Amino acid sequence: MAEARAETLIDDDRVRVTRFDFAPGDETGWHVHGMDYVITTLTDCQMRLKEPGGETREVMIPAGTVYRREQGVKHNVINGGDAPMTFIETELK
């Protein structure tokens, strides 16, 4: 699978804001979030989430949805749909 395209939009002393663009099947690769973060979906996002222990979850998050997670989340995010997906991740420093 190909890696999602990540573009840093802001990286200052308070936040890091990154735009992620995924073609169908693209993934982030395994990573651990070192900061609390907020996700804002720009498109409908059919996410396949690979999690520690071999678990995989399928989640459909509609465009315009905002959600927050705390640091320490470990996963690989994959576009499990057949359309491109895009979201903005805002990490709180």
Calpha distance 23→51 (Å, rounded) = 21
Q: Is the pLDDT assigned to residue 1 strictly greater than 80? A: no
Give me the pLDDT at residue 41, please.
98
User: Partners of 27 in the beta sheet?
Assistant: 3, 78
Give me the pLDDT at residue 62, please.
98
| Mean pLDDT on 63-86 | 98
Q: Coil, strand, or helix at residue 19?
A: strand
Give residue-wise pLDDT tens across range 41-55.
Answer: 999 999 999 999 999
Rounded to the nearest 5°, which phi and psi values hold at 29? 85, 160
Give me the pLDDT at residue 54, please.
93
Give me the pLDDT at residue 33, please.
98
| Mean pLDDT on 58-64 | 98
